[in-house]
């Protein structure tokens, strides 16, 4: 049973175009509210993953991170080339919060903020590291 993130944004049509440019998203479909033109529901595929999104509908409690002042959630996107994908996302309008960096747990990661207030961690596996080795490295890094 898949877990599918559902994003709420201030401008879903613009967000769809951003996700296409930044993450090579493929729009599956969208439903447009006939009363005001807002996107009530859309589905995008990024690689093998699905995300759903809509415009804000405050009367239903659907409010995006910009309206709320941020989000504690980070979307993790596994990628083949973090550096290239970070550059493409930044060119499309994302803010780089943390540049691509090799991590002790065997991944090269970058942290981005999309123009709609959602954080994305791009991650590329560079080394297979066991959980025990991850912990050992973390302890070493923190002096524990």
Per-residue pLDDT at 80 exceeds 90: yes
pLDDT tens digits for range 89-137: 999 999 999 999 999 999 999 999 999 999 999 999 999 999 999 999 9
pLDDT tens digits for range 15-69: 999 999 999 999 999 999 999 999 999 999 999 999 999 999 999 999 999 999 9
Domains in the chain, please, with CATH?
A: 6-142 (3.10.180.10)
- The C-alpha atoms of residue 106 and residue 126 are separated, in whole angstroms, by 5
The model's confidence at residue 144, banded by pLDDT at 50, 70 and 90, is confident
Helix axis angle for 12-23 and 82-92, nearest 10°, is 150
pLDDT at 142: 87
pLDDT at 138: 92
Residue ranges in the chain assigned as alpha helix (H)? 12-23, 65-68, 82-92, 131-142
């Amino acid at each position: 049973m898949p877990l599918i993130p559902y994003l709420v944004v201030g401008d879903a049509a613009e967000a769809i175009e951003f996700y296409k440019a930044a993450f090579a998203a493929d729009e599956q479909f969208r439903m447009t509210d006939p009363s005001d033109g807002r996107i009530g529901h859309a589905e995008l595929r990024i690689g093998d993953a699905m995300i759903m999104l809509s415009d804000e509908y405050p009367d239903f409690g659907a409010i995006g991170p910009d309206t709320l002042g941020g989000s504690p959630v980070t979307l993790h996107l596994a990628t083949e080339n973090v550096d290239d994908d970070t550059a493409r996302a930044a060119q499309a309008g994302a803010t780089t919060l943390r540049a691509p960096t090799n991590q002790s747990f065997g991944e090269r990661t970058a942290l981005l903020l999309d123009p709609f207030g959602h954080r994305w961690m791009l991650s590329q596996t560079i080394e297979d590291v066991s959980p025990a080795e991850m912990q050992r490295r973390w302890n070493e890094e923190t002096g524990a």
